[in-house]
Amino acid sequence: MNKTVSVIITLGLIFAVGIIFAGDSKTKNTGQAVQNSEIKSGIQYITIDARGGYSPQISTAKAGIPTKLIIKTNGTYDCSASLVIRSVGFQKILPQTGETEIDIGTKNVGEKLQGVCGMGMYSFQINFS
Amino acid sequence: MLIMMKTYTFHVSGTHCAACKILIEDILGEQNFIKRSKVDLKRETVEIETDSEKNAEKLASILTSKIKPNGYTLSVDKIVETKKDDGVIWKAIPIGLVFLVLFFILQKSGILNLGIGGKTTPATSFIIGLIASVSSCLAIVGGLVLSLSAKISQDKISDTKTFLLFHLGRLVSFAILGGILGLIGNAIGISFLFSAILGLVASIVMLLLGLNLLGIFAKNKIALPSGIFNFFRKIEHETFTPLIIGFATFFLPCGFTQSMQVATISSGSFMSGFLIMFAFALGTLPMLAFLSFGSASFAHGKHAPLFFKSAGVVVIGLGIFAFLAGLAGLGIINPLFSI
């Protein structure tokens, strides 16, 4: 194979890898509109689905009220079942199917909460405002 | 009777690793007419001291016949290597990248995210094993298997036996550990920190082996620290090492493995845990066996140089991915990506 051809193909492929990884950040932004929090008797519940990643990847919630996270698993066997939320010291392998409630306390305006799966390839973020 | 000792220096080709030095010296040392042999990897020469009356050309051909099965050749004159290598790398980079792109597209496509509901049975865990073996877990477990297999095959070590032992060790230890988890009924040391660190170690090994396969280290022949070489040398002789590595894959960070461990814990008995984990490991076997025995057959084929370099590219890509993901998992860096 010609060296020049190879270099061109290589650059193209690196570009493709870039799209695969970076392309995700766009869907993240459009995903912001998802309404996944509700307030019941003074407690804010934020629901996140965990299977083959977390959805929504970015969500917004209200600051200043006690908040609980509900992680829903449904036949989840992949990495997203092993959840780590470092800021609240949560580390657990979630049941394959079910809901896990995590108390994350009361957050201030501008705070962020990040959850990541054990191997680190899936993550979600909640912005408090 | 006075025995005349003569010293000859031969050029040796095929020495791509530090372990080769030990291997060649071992084999030459076994010949009773050789008193001493010393390989100089930098200069690619072997110095021997012999009491044989034969001339240098004759000695070179006799000794070559001894080390030829291991891929080395001795010669009186330096064999000028045809510089095909430069061409190979330009083919290998795009080939390796194609595999990486396909792998990441597969991960992103969501095909692998099919939920499997209901109770975990040996049948479902076999299917989960099949999925896991092509999932993102492949980045770390498969990457490690590919890099070790390619390296073992490249070092001309008796690969079939080593691979069989690795897969056997993996199947047996998954089954037994699964049984123990089922029996005890709670987590014995499934520690996030431990498996994350193990994952980082595995990704560093992958990066080093990947660079080694690419031949980036080959020029100065110092490649890896001697500890790791001794380790590979042990793989050759000891049946124990591949068994242990198979065992260790149980603890590598892989979401599927961890989920199966939880399912096993709740299964309630030794036998059910044993069967679930065995079926899971059996499900991952086809892909991993393909990686290890596939590398062996490529390594012995005529496209060996291309295979090693392409495998090097793939392994480095997966190694970087696993390393960054591992750091993110430990909270050291922010997750850079979400596939």
Please name the helix (run of DSSP H) or strand (run of DSSP E) that holds residue A27, with its range, or none: helix A3-30
Q: What is the pTM of this model?
A: 0.69
Nearest-CA neighbor of B170 among B83, B248, B279? B248
The answer to whether residues B299 and B153 touch, using CB atoms and an 8 Å cutoff, is yes
The answer to whether residues A43 and A67 touch, using CB atoms and an 8 Å cutoff, is yes
- Residue A2, domain extent: 1-32
**ipTM for the complex shown:** 0.74
- When divided into structural domains, chain A yields a total of 2
Does residue B292 form part of some domain?
Answer: yes
The answer for B28, left when phi > 0, alpha when psi is -120 to 50, beta otherwise, is: alpha
Same domain, yes or no: A63 and A117: yes
Does residue B264 form part of some domain?
Answer: yes
In the beta sheet, which residues pair with residue A61?
A128
pLDDT of residue A16: 79
pLDDT of residue B220: 41
Tell me the nearest-neighbour CA distance from A42 into chain B, angstroms: 31
- In sequence order, what E strands does chain A have? 37-40, 43-50, 54-55, 58-61, 66-73, 82-85, 90-93, 98-106, 112-117, 123-128
CA distances from B155 to A38, A113, B95, B152 (A): 61, 48, 23, 5
Same domain, yes or no: B67 and B98: no
pLDDT tens, residue order, chain A (129 aa): 577 777 788 888 888 777 777 665 444 444 445 678 888 888 999 999 988 888 888 888 888 899 999 999 888 888 888 888 888 888 888 888 889 999 988 988 888 888 888 777 788 889 988
For each successive 10 residues of chain B (339 residues), what is the average pLDDT? 73 74 82 82 82 80 80 73 62 85 80 66 85 82 84 72 87 90 68 78 85 66 53 59 82 80 80 90 90 83 82 88 84 68
Same domain, yes or no: A83 and A46: yes
Test A119 with B91 for CB contact under 8 angstroms: no
* Residues of chain A contacting residue B324, judged by C-beta atoms under 8 Å apart: 120
Task: Annotate B164-218 with DSSP letters as a single string.
Answer: HHHHHHHHHHHHHHHHHHHHH-S-SS--HHHHHHHHHHHHHHHHHHHHHHHTTTT
Same domain, yes or no: B205 and B138: yes
Tell me the nearest-neighbour CA distance from B331 into chain A, angstroms: 7
Test B117 with A74 for CB contact under 8 angstroms: yes
Test B115 with A9 for CB contact under 8 angstroms: no
Last residue of a domain, one of B21, B50, B75: B75
Same domain, yes or no: B10 and B146: no
Test A78 with B256 for CB contact under 8 angstroms: yes
Same domain, yes or no: A3 and A40: no
Nearest-CA neighbor of A118 among B253, B68, B102? B253
Chain B residue nearest residue A55, CA to CA: B338
- Burial class (CB within 10 angstroms; exposed 0-12, middle 13-18, buried 19+) of A75: middle
Same domain, yes or no: B109 and B202: yes
Report the residue from A1, A77, A95 with minimal CB separation from B256: A77
Distance (Å, whole) CA A114 – CA B17: 45
Distance (Å, whole) CA B228 – CA B94: 29
Chain A residues with CB within 8 Å of chain B CB: 1, 3, 6-7, 9-10, 13-14, 16-17, 20-21, 24, 28, 51-53, 57, 74-82, 84, 86, 91, 93, 95-97, 114, 116-123
pLDDT of residue B175: 92
Mutate to test the interface with B, among A7, A25, A78 (most CBs of B within 10 A): A78
Distance (Å, whole) CA A119 – CA B327: 9
CB atoms within 10 A of CB B246: 23
Chain B residue nearest residue A82, CA to CA: B255
* Residues of chain A contacting residue B97, judged by C-beta atoms under 8 Å apart: 10, 13-14, 17
Same domain, yes or no: A65 and A116: yes
Does residue B338 form part of some domain?
Answer: no
- When divided into structural domains, chain B yields a total of 2
Test A82 with B337 for CB contact under 8 angstroms: no
Test A119 with B259 for CB contact under 8 angstroms: no
Test A91 with B192 for CB contact under 8 angstroms: yes
Chain B residue nearest residue A7, CA to CA: B90
Residues 6+ apart with CB under 8 A from A127: A58, A59, A60, A61, A111, A112
The answer to whether residues B95 and B310 touch, using CB atoms and an 8 Å cutoff, is yes
* Residues of chain B contacting residue A11, judged by C-beta atoms under 8 Å apart: none
Mutate to test the interface with A, among B86, B102, B338 (most CBs of A within 10 A): B338
pLDDT of residue B85: 55
CB atoms within 10 A of CB B241: 19
Does residue B80 form part of some domain?
Answer: no
The answer to whether residues A12 and B93 touch, using CB atoms and an 8 Å cutoff, is no
pLDDT of residue B29: 81
